[in-house]
């Protein structure tokens, strides 16, 4: 570690990182547009200029993202000279930047907006009209480019080159006519395009699925974990007015995904805004299905599992460690085998993040003792054994709702899923919350512990899955025995 | 317990009639003076440009709303009366409100929305009356809120004038 003086304070700096990293690590907010900690610094936006004095030489104003840290460096980020240089630089960046903040999706989390608000002059001095460029240039299925808003920081260009290693974007044109473009206007490809909207410091690159959907300050952001593959990227689940999930964004996590996430996980929020859920559950008697509350559904499940043999318990890989542990304890008491319905690899694996295995908690559940079985094997068991307890969201999707409905009527199945399935064998259905509504722990493919948090409140009468399992456990005991 | 001591009446007062005539003279005097009671629903209050009635959305000449659903009025609203959902359009300005609701039962007519609006799209109209049979019916959507710009012109001119005065005085303090 190198010692530098930052605004009159001695701090330790990492000599392998540029000076701006030391400033940020030391708690000094130096603005940055082209600098991103995950990308090579290029120093094209010039907004991170600070005053540096080294040895006997007079103090100079340098860009902090392209200056290596040296022993004994004296850095002043708030000196009048540094301030004035940055302010002038900002004025140039804003000269052609349209006043789009009211319609811009980035407003509220825009670095340029924040710094212009803090340091800008409020009024432009330029008398020439602003540059007119294409405001709605589609770059593939995911990204829309607004050329007017672009500050040509080239973060997107470097991201495409350095992270998924698929260089597709470039800065075309010269001087004031420079724009971001793809070769021959081909659409972008790849599974990491969504990150372009995150790395863009302004609102030039926006996500098509999120375009004008919500203002970012109305979104309630909850740290969570992606449930689309066994990597378990750290995410932020963003919910509008306690209702629909509008956006899923990566959260920095050094151990798992750093700053990035794949588009498969990012755009997997539509199924989370599911409609037609019921509170409590359903119970079948003969040919009639009637709604029951969660307690009754749990009691009916306990009756099936204590009466019928041979029987088994199967869970989906979205079940958390805590829930899995409770299910294992209950199954051990009743001497039932426990299986994990294990989806087949989806062929989306790459060298960066996606593992190709759409089972987020496979490792954790297998470590708990669940035996992995393919959906076809579980269906075969359903046909050969007399009762089953199927627990976890996407159970019907994994086994096939039609396959579940086709199980013969003399079998007794308790299904704990998000949406009910109608079939003669399905005697009990209980509604379970989605993984974005539950708290718990998953283990990712490398054994890293990932946590889930509830990102929106559950309706009343909607128990958590852990509570449902304990209700089943309590219903199987004689009155009062659960109090032991 | 309180003992109220009654006023001792004078002889003239005890005679009763002089006091009756004194009261009637007051009544007759007032009958010939100018009326100050206003027959409210038939005779509405005078409305000036300063009247701050219910907020309304400005409709431009081409029939679209000036609102771009930026959400600043929603954020500024101290009563949480405004709910906005945006969406994309084919117009030159790409964003427009798909849902713009003001809960008139929550609205306190403070005018913060008018002040916050960067697009001059919401103004306090001179409409003051509010009555309905259900609470839901008093949550006004876009169809009930939109007004042609001309209908709000008086207030718009006033707000511009006031804003100019603020802008010019800000350099002196």
Tokens 């900690």 map to which residue?
A37
Topology of domain A129-212, CATH:
Alpha-Beta Plaits (3.30.70)
Topology of domain A2-95, CATH:
Ubiquitin-like (UB roll) (3.10.20)
Give the model's confidence band at A62: pLDDT under 50 very low, under 70 low, under 90 confident, else very high. Answer: very high
Q: Is B71 on the interface with A (CB under 8 A)?
A: yes
Q: Residue by residue, what is the 3-state secondary structure of B121-172?
A: CEEECCCCCCCCCCCHHHEECHHHHEEEHHHHHHHHHHHHHHHHHHHHHHCC
pLDDT digits (tens, 9 = 90+) for A220-232: 999 999 999 999 9
Report the mean per-residue pLDDT for chain A: 91
Listed in sequence order, the residues at least 6 apart from B35 whose beta carbon sits closer than 8 Å to its beta carbon are none
Count other Cβ atoms within 10 Å, centred on residue A17.
Answer: 16
Bin A225: left if φ > 0, else alpha if -120 < ψ < 50, else beta. beta
Q: Name A238's bridge partners.
A: A221, A247
The answer to whether A302 touches A475, Cβ cutoff 8 Å, is yes
Q: Round to whole Å and give the CA distance between A299 and A332.
A: 18
Two tokens, residue A355: 């593992």
pLDDT digits (tens, 9 = 90+) for B61-85: 888 999 999 999 999 999 999 999 9
B62: burial class by Cβ within 10 Å (0-12, 13-18, 19+)?
Answer: exposed
Question: Residue B170: what pLDDT?
Answer: 56
Q: Which residue of B has its CA nearest to A136?
A: B94
Give the model's confidence band at B10: pLDDT under 50 very low, under 70 low, under 90 confident, else very high. Answer: confident
Q: Round to whole Å and give the CA distance between B157 and A344.
A: 67
DSSP structural state of residue A271: G
**Residue range A281-483 in CATH 2.120.10.30:** no
Q: pTM score, two decimals?
A: 0.86
Question: Residue B91: what pLDDT?
Answer: 83
Two tokens, residue A17: 């990182």
Q: Round to whole Å and give the CA distance between A144 and A152.
A: 15
pLDDT digits (tens, 9 = 90+) for A271-319: 999 888 888 899 998 888 999 999 999 999 999 998 888 999 999 999 9
Nearest Cα neighbor of B60 from B147, B118, B161 is B147
Two tokens, residue A452: 């889930």
Task: For residue A106, give how far its alpha carbon lies from the nearest alpha carbon of chain B (Å).
Answer: 11
pLDDT of A478 > 90? The answer is no
State yes or no: ipTM above 0.85: no
DSSP structural state of residue A208: T
pLDDT of A406 > 70? The answer is yes
pLDDT digits (tens, 9 = 90+) for B74-118: 999 999 999 999 998 888 888 999 999 999 999 999 999 999 999
Two tokens, residue A432: 């379970």
Listed in sequence order, the residues at least 6 apart from A252 whose beta carbon sits closer than 8 Å to its beta carbon are A234, A258, A259
**Residue range B55-167 in CATH 3.30.70.3270:** yes
Tokens 């913060």 map to which residue?
B112
Nearest Cα neighbor of B95 from B121, B60, B69 is B69
Tokens 């001059």 map to which residue?
B120
Tokens 């749990």 map to which residue?
A298
- Every domain of chain A and the residues it spans: 2-95, 129-212, 281-483
A457-479: average pLDDT: 83
- Every domain of chain B and the residues it spans: 55-167
DSSP structural state of residue A316: -
pLDDT of B59 > 50? The answer is yes
Task: For residue B124, give how far its alpha carbon lies from the nearest alpha carbon of chain A (Å).
Answer: 20
Q: Which helix (H) or strand (E) element contains residue A101?
A: none
Test B118 with A101 for CB contact under 8 angstroms. Answer: yes
Give the model's confidence band at B173: pLDDT under 50 very low, under 70 low, under 90 confident, else very high. Answer: very low
pLDDT digits (tens, 9 = 90+) for A312-363: 999 999 999 999 999 999 999 999 999 999 999 988 889 899 999 999 999 9
Q: Is B99 on the interface with A (CB under 8 A)?
A: no
Q: Is B94 on the interface with A (CB under 8 A)?
A: yes
Find chain A residues with C-beta within 8 A of B69's C-beta.
212
């Amino acid at each position: 570690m190198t010692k530098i003086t930052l605004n009159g304070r001695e701090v330790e700096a990492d000599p392998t990182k540029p000076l701006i990293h030391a400033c940020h690590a030391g708690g000094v907010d130096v603005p940055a547009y082209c600098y991103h900690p995950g990308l090579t610094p290029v120093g094209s936006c010039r907004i991170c200029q600070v005053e540096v004095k080294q040895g006997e030489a007079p103090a100079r104003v340098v860009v902090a993202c392209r200056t290596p840290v040296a022993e004994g460096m004296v850095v002043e980020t708030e000196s009048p000279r540094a301030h004035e240089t940055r302010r002038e630089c900002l004025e140039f960046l804003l000269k052609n930047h349209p006043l789009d903040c009211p319609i811009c999706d980035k407003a509220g989390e825009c670095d340029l907006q924040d710094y212009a608000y803090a340091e800008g002059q409020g009024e432009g001095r330029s008398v020439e009209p602003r540059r007119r460029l294409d405001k709605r240039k589609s770059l593939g299925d995911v990204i829309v480019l607004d050329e007017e808003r672009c500050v040509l920081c080239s973060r997107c260009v470097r991201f495409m080159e350095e992270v998924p290693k698929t260089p597709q974007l470039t800065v075309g044109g010269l001087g004031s006519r420079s724009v971001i473009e793809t070769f021959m206007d081909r659409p972008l490809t790849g599974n990491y395009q969504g990150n372009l909207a995150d790395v863009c410091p302004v609102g030039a690159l926006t996500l098509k699925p999120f375009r004008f959907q919500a203002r970012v300050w109305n979104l309630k952001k909850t740290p969570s974990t992606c449930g689309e593959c066994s990597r378990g990227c750290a995410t932020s689940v963003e919910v509008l007015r306690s209702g629909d999930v509008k956006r899923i964004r990566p959260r920095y996590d050094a151990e798992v995904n750093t700053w990035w996430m794949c588009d498969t996980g990012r755009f997997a929020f539509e199924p989370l805004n599911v409609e037609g859920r019921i509170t409590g559950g359903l119970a079948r008697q003969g040919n009639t299905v009637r709604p029951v509350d969660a307690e009754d559904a749990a009691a009916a499940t306990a009756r099936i599992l204590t009466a019928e043999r041979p029987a088994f318990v199967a869970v989906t890989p979205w079940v958390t460690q805590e829930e899995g542990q409770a299910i294992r304890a209950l199954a051990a008491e009743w001497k039932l085998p426990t299986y994990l319905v294990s989806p087949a690899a989806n062929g989306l694996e790459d060298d960066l993040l996606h593992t190709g295995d759409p089972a987020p908690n496979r490792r954790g559940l297998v470590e708990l003792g669940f035996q992995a079985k393919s959906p076809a094997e579980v269906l075969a068991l359903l046909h050969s054994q007399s009762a089953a307890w199927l627990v976890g969201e996407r159970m019907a999707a994994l086994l096939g709702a039609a396959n579940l409905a086709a199980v013969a009527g003399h079998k007794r199945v308790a299904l704990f899923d998000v949406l009910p399935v109608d079939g003669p064998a399905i005697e009990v259905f209980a509604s379970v919350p989605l993984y974005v509504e539950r708290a718990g722990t998953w283990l990712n493919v490398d054994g890293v512990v990932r946590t889930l948090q509830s990102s929106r409140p559950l309706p009343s009468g909607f128990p958590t899955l852990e509570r449902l399992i304990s209700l089943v456990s309590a219903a199987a005991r004689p009155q009062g025995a659960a109090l032991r | 317990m309180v003992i109220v001591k009654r006023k001792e009446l004078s002889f003239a007062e005890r005679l009763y009639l002089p006091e009756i005539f004194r009261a009637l003279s007051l009544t007759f005097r007032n009958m010939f003076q100018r009326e100050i009671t206003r027959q409210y629903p038939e005779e509405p209050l005078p409305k000036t440009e300063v009247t701050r009635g219910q907020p309304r959305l400005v409709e431009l000449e081409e029939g679209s709303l000036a609102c771009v659903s930026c959400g600043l009025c929603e954020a500024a609203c101290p009563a949480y009366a405004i709910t906005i959902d945006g969406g994309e359009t084919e117009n030159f300005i790409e964003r427009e409100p798909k849902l713009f609701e003001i809960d008139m039962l929550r609205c306190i007519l403070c005018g913060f929305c008018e002040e916050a609006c960067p697009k001059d799209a919401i103004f306090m109209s001179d409409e003051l009356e509010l009555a309905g049979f259900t609470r839901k019916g008093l949550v006004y959507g876009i169809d009930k809120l939109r007004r042609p710009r001309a209908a709000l012109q008086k207030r718009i001119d006033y707000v511009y004038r006031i804003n100019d005065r603020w802008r010019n005085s800000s350099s002196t303090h």
